[in-house]
Amino acid sequence: MATQKNQPVGGRPTPELLEEWKKKYGRIHQLKVGEFIMILREPKTVDIERALAADPKGKKVFNFNRSIIENCKLYEDAGAREDDKRLQRFFNAIDQIIDMQEADVKEL
């Protein structure tokens, strides 16, 4: 998680810190459920590999999402994951930030 640099008394990242993160990580995403937010950087290949390894049999889909959050999280409001329903909504949002574009294959 990020240091307290450039964070106001309320604890949420300042616009300046968000710009620093964008320069450092490229795309960043804010997930919001109710009044709670998380900010994640764009997952890299290694993050997706870790997440896939967290659920090798594909039976515990939330292990994948939990891994993405743990490895890509830059900021999380205190208490954001304390409620199961709220946590499930955060997990469901992960699919929206993973850009899995398919490649075209052509036999030559």
Domains of the chain: 20-97 (3.30.2220)
Q: In this predicted structure, what is the pLDDT of residue 106? A: 84
Cα of 24 vs its chain's centroid, Å: 15
Q: In this predicted structure, what is the pLDDT of residue 3? A: 47
Q: In this predicted structure, what is the pLDDT of residue 6? A: 52
Q: In this predicted structure, what is the pLDDT of residue 9? A: 45
Q: In this predicted structure, what is the pLDDT of residue 5? A: 54
DSSP type of residue 95: H
Helix axes 61-72, 84-97, angle to 10 degrees: 80
pLDDT lower than 70: segments of the chain? 1-10, 100-101
Q: In this predicted structure, what is the pLDDT of residue 2? A: 47
Q: In this predicted structure, what is the pLDDT of residue 105? A: 84
